[in-house]
Structure 1
């Protein structure tokens, strides 16, 4: 049986992270675990060491107001230790978080580095789609994933032209106009646990199969598991 893949999950946000880590390993559930800062990434890497199925991404979350220029220097230093980057991006929808101009400077630098080093990047974009298109198009990263896209279909077309992947979760089924426009070879599945729900319940890793089932039914795609597996395999090989 082909293993399930979760391209956006926050292991460090669960109290029972040890138990969840063991579950993911036993179930062979390939999971990309996001972090919101270089410090959290370093702690997770040191705590869990190497794992075949659980991979930690180096993060720099735009809503983490504590991040400074020192942290971006730490990000640059730590980048060589992972193939995965996230959660990074731009968010202009909330007053809290990094100041807008600094977000743009940091995201530009992150994109430049990740494109040059060909990292897999999970990107958070809220209310800053035009700015994100400008920066992504400047560096043309080959392995860029837009996580839980909430923008317009018009801006979505711009990201599609740039070759971006899209990771979707069950909460996004309210916007099938977004999901239906994703090229079949650019579709990935995420949970964004614990920030999402499945059938009204806070996400737990045993619910990942339910996310696949709900999305497959909504898309009328019985081959979704195979499709996502093939897409992620292609992403790894780029």
Structure 2
């Protein structure tokens, strides 16, 4: 949802599958809605949110080349491409997945739209492809990759997703500790069920407190920094509030 009224910095969830559960829309001020396939991309474009369209690596097997063509035809109505990327843990047809991802990399470069990335167990491969395609604006959703690669990602000016599951996924805390505030975007991946917990945008409020404690700054400073990071990733100031 885009419903910030201007009282303090807006609360941002930069990765939500809003098409799966539209009831999440009012839990934070700013939602980046991601898509899984062509059908959900069309649904996302109808929502009051920052809109990402694309084909999730888990959906590539069922997707067609025609889906790519149709998604490309919708780009002018979208703010970003996502959830797109690679997955070396769960995806079997890696050749097709890479072909689809490279199509989205081309679209990102040609249409100058940022990427909302899935890179599970493919962190380095995804990063190297971003460099190959000269991608300027990218966001690694729920990063749990190597810390040395994290330094390269941040050095390139890309952004790191810190997920609200951090209080139940302790290894993710090391990512937070290693990531400067200037590179952090907050997210829930709602309504994903992680270890029996349904992640929702409302959990981002607690996440802000965890980041505040780790970085030694106020919660308001964290929210301000995340919102500015969102603007930098989008390459524009999102329209918030109003009809």
Give me the TM-score of the superposition, normalised by structure 2: 0.82
Q: How far apart are residue 98 of structure 1 and its match? A: 5.9
- 1:234 alignment counterpart: 232
- Which secondary structure does the structure 2 equivalent of 1:2 belong to? coil
Residue 55 of structure 2 is aligned to residue 90 of structure 1: no
- Taking the aligned partners of 1:118 and 1:136, their CA distance within structure 2 comes to 13
C-alpha root-mean-square deviation of aligned residues, in Å?
Answer: 2.3
2:210 to 190, 208, 214: 214
- Taking the aligned partners of 2:149 and 2:233, their CA distance within structure 1 comes to 23
Q: Runs of 5+ in structure 2 lacking a partner?
A: 1-7, 237-243
- Taking the aligned partners of 1:68 and 1:158, their CA distance within structure 2 comes to 34
Residue 231 of structure 2 is aligned to residue 224 of structure 1: no
- Which secondary structure does the structure 2 equivalent of 1:42 belong to? helix
- Taking the aligned partners of 1:85 and 1:61, their CA distance within structure 2 comes to 10
Give the stretch that moved more between structures: 150-159 or 55-64: 150-159
Give me the TM-score of the superposition, normalised by structure 1: 0.84
Q: 1:12-65 CA deviation, whole Å, 9 max, x = no partner? A: 222xx2x433x25xx6x110011101221113324x4xx3xx122102101112
- Which secondary structure does the structure 1 equivalent of 2:50 belong to? strand
- Which secondary structure does the structure 2 equivalent of 1:110 belong to? helix
Tell whether the 8 Å contact from 1:63 to 1:98 is kept in structure 2 after alignment: no
Q: How far apart are residue 191 of structure 1 and its match? A: 1.0
Q: Runs of 5+ in structure 1 lacking a partner?
A: none
- Which secondary structure does the structure 1 equivalent of 2:74 belong to? helix
The aligned runs of 1:147-226 (5 Å cut-off) are: 147-172=141-166, 174-175=170-171, 176-195=173-192, 201-222=197-218, 223-226=221-224
- 1:40 alignment counterpart: 40
Tell whether the 8 Å contact from 1:170 to 1:215 is kept in structure 2 after alignment: no
- Taking the aligned partners of 1:154 and 1:237, their CA distance within structure 2 comes to 27
- Which secondary structure does the structure 2 equivalent of 1:123 belong to? strand
Q: How far apart are residue 154 of structure 1 and its match? A: 2.4
Number of residue-to-residue matches in the alignment: 223
Q: How far apart are residue 93 of structure 1 and its match? A: 0.3
- Taking the aligned partners of 2:30 and 2:84, their CA distance within structure 1 comes to 20
